[in-house]
Structure 1
């Protein structure tokens, strides 16, 4: 199993709008691609010096190949709206994780 993790720091001035958009629109649209089986959104409990609130969204997929298909077929279209709506009010980075074991 592969986890596509997107960590985002969002500015207070657009926090509520962004959170609603993520939960009601963006995450469902990513799941609708059929390339992920689930998504989990968590709040990072460390205060950043830069301010804002940080969240991590973890999308689960079956393989690196499926994740690559997402990058090629869907990522730019789905990221474009985030940049259009929140531009300089958010900072994101992505991490690819491979599940080794669960206990």
Structure 2
């Protein structure tokens, strides 16, 4: 199993709207690609700052090749939609992990 983790720091003033959009629009669009078999979303409790909060969005795939397929064929459009919607209100870091 492979985990594609996206950690997002989002400004508190848009947190609720962003979380609703992630759950209703963005994550379903990622899952509709057929690449990932499961996802989870967690709020990072140990890293709150005054003006932002962090979330970990975890997408699970069977192989690294499936994640590469996502990154090559689907991610550019979906990442751009997120970037355009939340311009200066977020930062994102991506990590690929393999279960051992």
**TM-score normalised per structure 2:** 0.95
Matched, 1:28 2:48: no
Give SS of 1:76's match: helix
Measure how far apart 1:47 and its partner are. 3.2
Deviations 1:4-44 (A, max 9, x none): 00000100111111000100010010000000001000010
Measure how far apart 1:51 and its partner are. 3.2
What is the root-mean-square deviation in Å for CA atoms of aligned residues? 1.1
Match of residue 19 from structure 2: 19
Matches within 5 A, 1:1-103: 1-49=1-49, 51-100=51-100
Runs of 4+ in 1 over 2 A off after TM superposition: 47-51
Give SS of 2:71's match: helix
Give SS of 2:72's match: helix
Give SS of 2:27's match: helix
**Mind listing any 5+ residue stretches in structure 2 that lack a counterpart?**
none
**TM-score normalised per structure 1:** 0.92
Give SS of 2:74's match: helix
